[in-house]
Amino acid sequence: MTQVACGIDIGGSGVKGAVVDLNTGEFIGERVRIDTPSPSTPAAVADVCAEVLRQLNVGEDVPVGITVPAPIHRGIVPFIANLDQAWEGLAVRDFFEETLGRTTLILNDADAAGLAEVAFGAAKGNDGVVIVTTLGTGIGSALVYRGILVPNTELGHLEIDGHDAESRASAHQRVKQDLGWKKWAKRLQKYYSTVEMLFSPDLLVVGGGVSKNHEMFLPLLSLRTPIVPAKLFNTAGIVGAAAAAAEDASH
């Protein structure tokens, strides 16, 4: 695997990028962040990605991975929530490679975070079934088995008791509905018990900004599966994208 790669994480509010040391999972130099343009059309966002690469001085021989906040099915974005609707139906890898003039790997942002936690974070060394969830505006998920990603799982949209799971148990809903930690933990218990029943994972990793307060809710959960907080926090998307791009470039 290439030892250095670049990751770019496209979000609804910012486009963030860095060069990553793939031996350690740490950034080489500073992270670059540029506000997501409005409207956030593919062309406008690609221009920002080009500027991130320019500021990072990324050479032509450095693999580049880019995350998008959407599933990617056979290279196509089927739907999108937090960027302009012009992304829907886009052949996203072909578009970025043509626009940026270089090979790129495109992947879902939660999938990238999962790969990072497996390679460098809380799930490092686990050779079983690992499910990484990100508790934020919704619930993102990544399913990894022996280091191999099963993409686009969208486990935040499991239907539980007639409700879309993330509409009840996301970190955003905890704040919106003014739920205390114990009340929210009861919802998380139902969610993670369902995930556990369906997949029998070897490890559950909980990410997202709220995981910084993991001691307030993870100890309240009762599961057979070990459940631990993520380690990489807001660097995970960049690191996972870089690692996946390097892996892709080596094939």
pLDDT tens by residue, the chain, 251 residues: 569 999 999 998 899 999 999 999 999 999 999 999 999 999 999 999 999 999 999 999 999 999 999 999 999 999 998 899 999 999 999 999 999 999 999 999 999 999 999 999 999 999 999 999 999 989 999 999 998 999 999 999 999 999 999 999 999 999 999 999 999 999 999 999 999 999 999 999 999 889 999 999 999 999 999 999 999 988 999 999 999 999 999 88
130 and 222 belong to one structural domain:
yes
In this structure, is residue 208 part of a structural domain?
yes
Between helix 109-120 and helix 236-249 the angle, nearest 10°, is: 80
In this structure, is residue 115 part of a structural domain?
no
101 and 161 belong to one structural domain:
no
In this structure, is residue 117 part of a structural domain?
no
180 and 200 belong to one structural domain:
yes
For residues 60 and 6, the answer to whether their CB atoms sit within 8 Å is: no
84 and 148 belong to one structural domain:
no
In this structure, is residue 205 part of a structural domain?
yes
For residues 214 and 243, the answer to whether their CB atoms sit within 8 Å is: no
Summarize pLDDT for 71-101 with one digit per residue, the tens.
Answer: 999 999 999 988 999 999 999 999 999 999 9
In this structure, is residue 194 part of a structural domain?
yes
192 and 217 belong to one structural domain:
yes
104 and 142 belong to one structural domain:
no
**pTM for the whole thing?**
0.92
147 and 177 belong to one structural domain:
yes
Structurally, the chain folds into a number of domains equal to: 2
217 and 178 belong to one structural domain:
yes
220 and 244 belong to one structural domain:
no
In this structure, is residue 114 part of a structural domain?
no
Sorted by sequence, the CB contacts under 8 Å of residue 132 that are 6+ apart come out as 110, 113, 114, 117, 118, 123, 141, 142, 144, 204, 205, 207, 230
Tell me, what amino acid is at 41?
A: T
Exposed, middle or buried by CB within 10 Å (0-12, 13-18, 19+), for 159?
exposed
225 and 242 belong to one structural domain:
no
Sorted by sequence, the CB contacts under 8 Å of residue 38 that are 6+ apart come out as none
In this structure, is residue 116 part of a structural domain?
no
Q: What is the CATH number of the domain that holds 99?
A: 3.30.420.40
- pLDDT at position 1, please? 55
Compute how many other C-beta atoms are within 10 angstroms of the C-beta atom of residue 164. Answer: 15
Domain coverage including residue 76? 4-108+235-249
92 and 146 belong to one structural domain:
no
In this structure, is residue 113 part of a structural domain?
no
28 and 76 belong to one structural domain:
yes
